[in-house]
Amino acid sequence: MAPGFQGKPGHQGHNGFASGSPDGRGPPPSTLAAQLVESITTSARSTARPDETSELKRLLGIIERIKNHPETLKTNEERIEHNHMLIYVYTRVALEGLRWDDPFANHAQQCSEALKAINFLQVTIKETPAVLKFCPDEAAFLFRGEEPLWLWLLPRVLRILGVGPCLAISPIIEKLCQSVMEASYQNGILWDLQPIVMSYFQGNFSG
Cβ-in-10-Å burial (0-12, 13-18, 19+) of 132 comes to buried
Q: Name which residue leads in pLDDT, 55 or 163.
A: 55
Name the 3-class secondary structure at 19. coil
Q: What is the pTM of this model?
A: 0.80
The segment with the largest mean pLDDT, out of 13-22, 99-108, 138-147, 162-171, is 138-147
Is residue 18 within 8 A of residue 128, CB to CB? The reply is yes
Q: Please state whether 162 falls in left (phi above 0), alpha (psi between -120 and 50) or beta.
A: left
- Find the mean pLDDT for residues 83-88: 94
Range of the domain at 66: 14-206
Question: Please, are residues 149 and 134 in contact by the beta-carbon 8 Å criterion?
Answer: yes
Judged against a pLDDT cut of 90, whether residue 152 lies above it is answered with yes
Identify the band that residue 7 occupies on the pLDDT scale cut at 50, 70 and 90: low
The phi and psi torsions of 192 (rounded to 5 degrees) equal -70, -10
Who has greater pLDDT, 126 or 19? 126
Residue 7 lies in a domain: no
Answer whether residue 171 is part of any domain: yes
Give CA 197 to chain center in angstroms.
Answer: 16
113 in a structural domain: yes
How many independent structural domains does the chain possess?
1
Q: Is residue 142 within 8 Å of residue 58, measured between CB atoms? A: no
| 25 belongs to a structural domain | yes
Question: 78 falls in which pLDDT band (50, 70, 90)?
Answer: very high
CA angle 42, 161, 128 (to 5 degrees): 60
Answer whether residue 45 is part of any domain: yes
Task: Return d(Cα 107, Cα 50) in angstroms, integer.
Answer: 27
Is residue 108 included in any domain, yes or no? yes
pLDDT attached to residue 175: 93
- The DSSP string of 42-63 is GGGGTT--HHHHHHHHHHHHHH
Residue at 1 is within a domain = no
Q: What contacts 105, CB < 8 A, 6 or more positions away?
A: 99
Phi, psi of 152 (to 5 degrees): -80, -35
Find the mean pLDDT for residues 186-190: 91
Confidence grade of residue 125 (pLDDT, cut at 50, 70, 90): very high
Mean model confidence pLDDT for the chain: 80
Average pLDDT over residues 91-117: 84
Q: In this model, does residue 16 exceed pLDDT 50?
A: no
The reply to whether 8 falls in a domain is: no
Using a 10 angstrom Cβ sphere, with 0-12 exposed, 13-18 middle and 19 or more buried, the burial of residue 110 is buried
When comparing pLDDT for 13 and 147, which is higher? Answer: 147
Whole-number pLDDT of residue 8: 56
- The reported pLDDT for the residue numbered 48 is 61
Contact partners, residue 63, CB within 8 Å, separation at least 6: 34, 37, 38, 85, 86, 89
Q: What is the pLDDT of residue 29?
A: 54
